[in-house]
């Protein structure tokens, strides 16, 4: 229920925010949730509903602000208040003993007290809090400055936006992904025809460095914090006290840290976790060993690269030798054909492994792999099986080199390799291997938005022989759908109505729905608005190798070649004809520039504006007769620079293009001061 007054809304929002923060801490920091996911979601829905009704009460620290903001154009640099140094490595107990001997000699003591912590295999970050509120965060970078990934870090529920006390500090931590969530993510990536991540660390780094925070918000990232780079408003004398302070502030620390008196206790800790690392649901690649006494840190100092008071003990990699029996190829939704190694079973990291992706022909050649070879395999990040190399010294002469097939193994269509890509693709959208996922994508919300047509129903339709291309969806009869498992007359009728509605989505969404490689929703919109009809687009795409496409904003050579190849494929030409015959709209309303102060001016918006979103700014440009653009060139008339404007602002200055701040932009649009305040 929405409160009727601002005062009531403020009180309820304060209650909800405190309650949600409490449950976040119980779930992530204490691992002791007391409510179900559904109950948590209900609290969040109420919070969002009240904030939508009273937008002036939204604060940056509200849990609702974790969903991601505007897409960034790049990452600005942030200087660390204290360097984020890397650690020296130790690979054996003897190297740990040598490390300890150097420290004892430097400190003039017989026994050093250490803190041993698990070394999480993720991405190191720094979080800055001012008076208890999260202000910004950055990657390690070169140690002196990192990339500003504040918007992405805000999406992690395991990072509190407000601490339990108003302390100012820089927190060091490791963002990671659990094994189970990593496997789920890779399954989703493969189902969408996208290349899977090699290991959890790559998945974490790739997810955290997305230019669109909304993508990061969908990725299951977590964090453990492990140290303090700067602190004001509290004091600690040991590293162990620092960990306890972080925990008391509501930050998530790893529960397996241990105080060790002397290096032999550290070695026993390392041996324990070398044997037990597979019992965790997250990847660790070693143990970090730190002197506990912070005063000793000052005495020992650091080299240019690493502190003298800490070392990382690295676990030995678990590898096995086996025989490569076969290289198979699989086809994803976007047509990418991936070679897969099939080898004799081996035990790695607690599981039996028989196959591993080889990604592409270039990798196979770089690692000199032949069918029949003895090969060395390991689990990258203890998760993904990986073929490291062949053992040519064991060859008998019967081994057979591998070459990617020239035709799709599923449909027989010629395989192509687009310029600038290592991937080989089947471009036939009717290929059986691509069909189910392709139709799921066709029906998705940002494409044709066919309500009720999910993976389970699509699979039934394909297996029943009712659908073999997206166009077949529009030939379905209600009684055919009603006869399928878990369907009935009402569900069938609803699907028929959804299919009928989807015919009017327009050319932009149709182009995105077709799953053309490299054509996302934004590029599809640019193509649709530029050409207006599918016939005009096809004519441009199939003439002179698609050179005419290069005149479209946001379309470069790679995209142009991809679109040209797609429409040159006979099966895709037939698909367009069938969709047209079914009544699918293949035109886009081309809005003529209006009259106004920006008449026919090209305007680029970069950075974050305080008074409007990026979309609202672009709509305002169109309403004023201008043409919003995504890239800066000599044809650009104005660049509107908000906060954290990046490379586009720099390029505008280099080209001598007029740069407007937000007030100047609003003034040019004709907004009065009172309208701006509103």
| Host H or E run for residue 128 | strand 123-130
- With 0-12 / 13-18 / 19 or more C-beta atoms within 10 angstroms meaning exposed / middle / buried, residue 516 is buried
| Residue 310 φ/ψ, nearest 5 degrees | -145, 155
The answer to whether residues 53 and 147 belong to one domain is no
- Cα separation, 358 vs 380, whole angstroms: 13
Output the pTM of the full model. Answer: 0.49
Q: Which residues of 393-417 are buried (b: 16+ CB within 10 A; e: fewer)?
A: eeeeeebeebeeeeebebbebebbe
Q: What are phi and psi of 665, to 5 degrees?
A: -65, -45
> How far is residue 504 CA from its own chain's centroid?
32
Say if 102 falls within a structural domain. yes
160 and 43 housed in the same domain:
no
Cβ(366)–Cβ(351) below 8 Å: no
Q: Contact at 8 Å (CB) between 307 and 300?
A: yes
Helix (H, G, I), strand (E, B) or coil at 12: helix
Q: Are strands 319-331 and 374-380 parallel, antiparallel or unpaired?
A: antiparallel
Among residues 436, 469, 502, which one ends one of the domains? 502
Burial 266-292, CB ≥16 within 10 A → b, else e: bbebbeebeeebeeeebbbbbbbbbbb
625: left (phi over 0), alpha (psi -120 to 50) or beta: left
- Regarding whether 37 and 165 lie in a shared domain, the answer is no
Q: What is the mean pLDDT of each run of 10 residues along the chain (678 residues)?
A: 88 89 70 70 83 85 65 70 87 93 95 96 92 92 85 90 93 93 82 69 82 83 94 93 95 96 97 88 92 95 85 84 93 83 83 85 91 87 77 94 90 83 79 81 90 88 90 94 89 93 93 88 83 93 87 82 91 94 88 66 82 76 78 82 78 84 80 41
Residue 174 burial by CB count (10 A; 0-12/13-18/19+): exposed, middle or buried?
buried
| Chain position carrying tokens 């040598």 | 98
CATH code: domain of residue 277: 3.30.470.30
The answer to the question of residue 588 being in a domain is no
Single out the residue in 314, 343, 377 at which a domain terminates.
314
Whether 345 and 276 share a structural domain:
no
Q: Are residues 215 and 306 in the same domain?
A: yes
d(CA 300, CA 567): 66
343/387 Cα distance (integer angstroms): 10
- Domains contained in the chain, number: 6
Question: Does a structural domain hold residue 137?
Answer: yes
Residues annotated catalytic, as ranges: 119
Considering the domain architecture, whether residues 345 and 303 belong to the same structural domain is answered as no
Sign of the CA dihedral running 357, 360, 365, 367: negative
Task: Say if residue 616 is in the same domain as residue 469.
Answer: no
Residue 595 lies inside a defined structural domain of this protein: no
Question: Does 226 share its domain with 293?
Answer: yes
Longest CA pairwise span in the chain (Å): 87
Which residues, 6+ apart, have CB-to-CB distance to 371 below 8 Å?
324, 325, 326, 327, 399, 400, 401, 402
Say which CATH number the domain at 494 has. 1.10.150.20
Q: By three-state DSSP, how is residue 116 classified?
A: strand
Residue that terminates a domain, selected from 502, 522, 544 = 502
Q: What's 610's domain CATH number? A: 3.40.50.10190
Q: Which residues contact 459 (CB under 8 A, 6 or more apart)?
A: 436
Same domain for 121 and 247, yes or no, is yes
pLDDT of residue 119: 94
In a domain, 135, yes or no: yes
Question: Is residue 429 one of the residues assigned to a domain?
Answer: no
pLDDT score, position 401: 94
In eight-state DSSP terms, residue 97 is H
- Enclosing domain of residue 577: 507-581
Q: Are residues 404 and 424 in contact, defined by beta-carbon separation less than 8 angstroms?
A: yes
In a domain, 38, yes or no: yes
CATH of the domain at 50: 1.10.287.610
* Separation of alpha carbons 191 and 546, rounded Å: 30
264 SS3 class: helix
Identify the pLDDT of residue 191.
67
Residue 584's contacts (CB-CB under 8 Å, 6 or more residues apart) are: 474, 502, 503, 510
Output the pLDDT for position 37.
62
Report yes or no on 27 lying in a domain.
Answer: yes
Q: What is the CB-side half-sphere exposure of residue 650 using CA atoms within 13 A?
A: 6
497 and 513: one domain? no
State how beta strands 133-139 and 123-130 pair: antiparallel
Distances from the Cα of 249 to the Cα of 13, 163, 347, angstroms: 22, 5, 42
Q: What pLDDT does residue 442 have?
A: 93
| Same-domain pairing of 660 and 549 | no
Residue 643 in tokens? 């906060």
Q: What is the pLDDT of residue 675?
A: 39
pLDDT value for 509: 92
Same domain? 291 vs 154: yes
**Residue in 338, 410, 403 with CA at minimum distance from that of residue 371:** 403
């Amino acid at each position: 229920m929405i409160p009727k007054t601002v005062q009531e809304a403020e009180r309820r929002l304060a209650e909800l925010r405190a309650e949600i923060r409490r449950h976040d801490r119980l779930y992530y920091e204490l691992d002791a949730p007391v409510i179900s996911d559904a109950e948590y979601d209900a609290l969040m829905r109420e919070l969002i509903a009240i904030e939508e009704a009273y937008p002036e009460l939204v604060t940056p620290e509200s849990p609702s602000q974790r969903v991601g903001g505007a897409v960034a154009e790049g990452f600005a640099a942030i200087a660390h208040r204290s360097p984020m140094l890397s650690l020296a490595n130790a690979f054996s107990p003897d190297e740990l003993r040598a490390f300890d001997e150097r420290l004892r000699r430097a400190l003039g003591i017989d026994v050093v007290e250490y803190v041993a912590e698990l070394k999480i295999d993720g991405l190191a970050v720094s979080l800055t809090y001012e008076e208890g509120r999260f202000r910004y965060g950055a990657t390690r970078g070169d140690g002196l400055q990192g990339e500003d990934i504040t918007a992405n870090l805000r999406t992690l529920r395991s990072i509190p936006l407000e601490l339990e006390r108003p302390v100012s500090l820089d927190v060091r931590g490791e963002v990671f992904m659990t094994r189970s969530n990593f496997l789920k993510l890779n399954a989703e990536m493969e189902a969408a025809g996208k290349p899977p991540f090699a290991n959890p660390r790559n998945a974490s780094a790739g997810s955290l460095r997305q230019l669109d925070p909304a993508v990061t918000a969908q990725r299951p990232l977590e964090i453990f914090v492990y140290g303090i780079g700067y602190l004001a408003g509290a004091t600690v004398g040991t590293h162990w006290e620092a960990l306890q302070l972080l925990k008391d502030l509501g930050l998530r620390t790893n529960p397996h840290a241990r105080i060790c008196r002397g290096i032999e206790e550290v070695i026993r800790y390392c041996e324990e976790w070398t044997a037990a690392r597979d019992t965790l649901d997250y990847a660790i690649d070693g143990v970090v060993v730190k002197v506990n006494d912070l005063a000793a840190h000052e005495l020992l100092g650091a080299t240019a690269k690493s502190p003298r008071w800490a070392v990382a003990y690295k676990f030995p990699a678990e590898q096995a030798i086996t025989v490569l029996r076969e290289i198979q190829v699989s086809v994803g939704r976007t047509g990418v054909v991936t070679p897969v190694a099939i080898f004799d079973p081996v035990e790695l990291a607690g599981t039996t492994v028989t196959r591993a992706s080889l990604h592409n022909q270039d990798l196979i050649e770089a690692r000199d792999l032949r069918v029949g070879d003895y090969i060395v395999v390991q689990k990258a990040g203890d998760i993904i099986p990986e073929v490291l190399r062949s053992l040519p010294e064991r060859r008998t002469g019967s081994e057979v080199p591998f070459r990617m097939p020239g035709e799709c193994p599923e449909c027989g269509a010629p395989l192509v390799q687009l310029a600038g890509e290592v991937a080989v693709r089947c471009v036939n959208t009717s290929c059986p291997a691509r069909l189910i996922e392709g139709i799921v994508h066709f029906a998705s919300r940002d494409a044709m938005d066919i309500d009720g047509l999910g993976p389970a129903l699509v699979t039934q339709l394909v297996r029943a022989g009712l659908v073999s291309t997206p166009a077949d969806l529009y030939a379905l009869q209600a009684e055919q759908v009603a006869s399928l498992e878990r369907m009935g007359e009402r569900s069938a009728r609803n699907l028929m109505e959804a299919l009928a509605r989807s015919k009017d989505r327009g050319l932009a969404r149709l182009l995105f729905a077709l799953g053309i490689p490299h054509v996302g929703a934004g590029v599809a919109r640019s193509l649709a608005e530029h050409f207006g009809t599918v016939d005009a687009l096809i004519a441009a795409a199939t003439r002179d190798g698609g050179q005419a496409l290069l005149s479209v904003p946001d379309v470069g050579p790679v995209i142009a070649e991809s679109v040209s190849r797609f429409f040159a494929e006979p099966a895709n030409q037939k698909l367009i004809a069938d969709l047209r015959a079914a009544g699918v709209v293949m035109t886009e309303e081309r809005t003529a520039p209006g009259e106004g102060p920006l008449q026919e001016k090209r305007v680029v918006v970069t950075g974050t504006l305080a008074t409007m979103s990026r979309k609202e700014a672009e709509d305002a440009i169109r309403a004023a007769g201008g043409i919003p653009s995504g890239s800066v060139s000599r044809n650009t008339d104005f660049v509107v620079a908000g906060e954290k404007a990046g490379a586009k602002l720099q390029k505008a200055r280099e080209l001598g293009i007029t740069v407007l701040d937000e007030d100047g932009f609003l003034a040019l649009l004709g907004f009065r001061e009172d309208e701006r305040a509103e």
